Structure formats: structure tokens, C-alpha cells
Amino acid sequence: MTASLLPALAAALLAAAPAPASAPARAPADAVQRGYAPVNGLRVYYEIHGPAGAKGPPLVLLHGGGSSIETSFASLLPALARHRRVIAFDQQGHGRTADLPDRPFTFEQSADDTAALLRHLGVARADLFGFSNGGTIALQVAVRHPALVRRLVVASAMVRRDGLAPQAWEAIRRGRLEDMPAELRQAYLAVAPHPEQLPSFHAKSARRMLEFRDWPDAEVRSITVPVLVVAGDRDAVLPEHAVALTRMLPDARLAVLPATDHDGVVQRRVEWLAPMIEAFLDEP
């Protein structure tokens, strides 16, 4: 890995995947419910997609760090919402959800916010799909609020610092606002309630990564629901880490997507990933 690649890698980890230039069309406006929910002091923006009469638990999407519903899931969401209800929301300070300036971004707090949103929406149990930081949040929901979770899909998620190459950590430490991908900067400025908070948003996203600590093995093994672990073979989160995570979880299976980097997991492999997720969630 050359030094010139490190800022790009750091940006990918902090900001997940930029939306492709020609994303598939979203569902018709009248098929999507949109709203804001009071959640732990936030006004959380959420969307509910999919057939109104769909049976079974909804699927909750958790976007990557520095990202939003659109920039993580524009390609994948329409495919997942064909036959089931899908709930997607913008986390604290991301997308259309305003930040609380005095509250840091943490994986634990984001998990608690997820649980509070589901309770506000009257959802007793759900499936969760998290990408990148969202995958780590999904795992935290299963640890902190196990009764809410039926199944988990976690893509490019981390529970140990050595899941990320040392060079990548150094790139995150050196990362500047100027290194943020233009697509993500523009997406933030277009919808954020307080676009002037972009520097704080970038700094808090970086701090959450830099303050990440290894999870105790017992905490990982406490997640007893079925889990599908997904990684790209060229992912920023090492495929070796995905293998180790799969072996630690009591009921897990692994999918490694070939010729796939970090952002490609959710943006350019929809034709592979969506059927895998649906088959996993539909298992008896």
C-alpha cells in the first residue's frame, strides 16, 4: 500500500461508499413513509420502504460512518424492499438527522438510538443489516438489546483493531477534512440541517474510529442470533478479520465477495449481495 493511497482508504472508512453516478431508481414516493422520530434527544430522520402488507419482521439498514441512507444504500435498498419492509435512518449528525454538538459519536450510543427508534415505531423484533461502522453498530444492538434482534447481516464490520491494517490507522490519524470525498461532502451539504457543522462532523467521525477498542471475546460470543458476515476480498476491513469474527460467533456463516473493495460491497455487488441477504433472512 503506497502513501498516496492512504488518505483515500481513510476516507473510505470514515465515509463509507459514495453513491454511484447512476443509481437505480428509488421506489415511488407514495410507497415510502418518511418522518422524524424523537430518539434520545435527537430528531432522527427515517424512511420505511416496501409493500405495506409484507409479513415478517422488518429489515433495518445501518449506514456507514460519515455516510447516510442514500450514500450507503442507494443501489441496494430498492432490491431489498421488493418483498419486505425496510427501515432506513440517518444516524446522529448524519444525513438529515441533526447532531447534538456535546454528544460524541460512539458505537454504543448509536446502538441505543437504533433500539429507541424501533421502539418508537412499535417494532418488537427486527432483522438488521449494517455496513462498515453500521455493521459494528448492528453487533452492538445485538449485545445491548438482544430481544430486538432476530437475525444480523454485517458487512465490512470490525470488532478488533487488528481487523484494519496499521497503515490505515495512520491514515485516519492524519486525515483532514480536505481528504473527504467530494461526493460525500456534497451529499452532506445538500441535506444536513446545519451544513456549517461539516468540520465537526468530520472530526467526530474520525474520533470514533481512533477511540475504537477491541471487544472482549465473551461479548462477541454473547451474540447468539444467526449472523451473516460479509466482506470483500479487497476490503479495507481485512477478510481475515471476517473469518475470525465468523468463528467467534456461535451461529454465523461467511460470504467473501471476489474482486470487491470496501465501497463495492454495497454499491457494485447488488446482484450478488441482495439474493444472499434475502435467502439468509428467509431461512426457517
AA letter at 67: S
Q: Do residues 232 and 158 touch, judged by C-beta distance below 8 A?
A: no
CA distance 113 to 139: 14
> What is the residue-level pLDDT of the chain in tens, covering all 284 positions?
333 333 444 454 554 444 433 333 344 444 799 999 999 999 999 999 999 889 899 999 999 999 999 999 999 999 999 999 999 999 999 999 999 999 999 999 999 999 999 999 999 999 999 999 999 999 999 999 999 999 999 999 999 999 997 888 888 899 899 988 888 899 999 999 999 999 999 999 999 999 999 999 999 999 999 999 999 999 999 999 999 999 999 999 999 999 999 989 998 778 899 999 999 999 98
Q: Counting beta carbons within 10 angstroms of the beta carbon of residue 189, is it exposed (0 to 12), middle (13 to 18) or buried (19 or more)?
A: exposed
**Cα-flanking dihedrals φ and ψ of residue 153, to 5°?**
-120, 120
Q: Are 91 and 63 in contact (CB under 8 A)?
A: yes
Specify whether the backbone of 156 is left (phi greater than 0), alpha (psi in -120 to 50) or beta: left
Name the residue ranges covered by the structural domains of the chain: 33-282
Instruction: Look at the block and give the residue holding cell 430518539.
Output: 39
The third-level CATH classification (topology) of the domain covering 33-282 is Rossmann fold (3.40.50)
Scored b (16 or more CB within 10 A) or e, 44-71 reads: bbbbbbbeeebeebbbbbbbbbbbbbbb
DSSP string, 89-147: EPPTTSTTSPP-TTS---HHHHHHHHHHHHHHTT-SSEEEEEETHHHHHHHHHHHH-GG
Identify the H or E element spanning 246.
helix 239-248
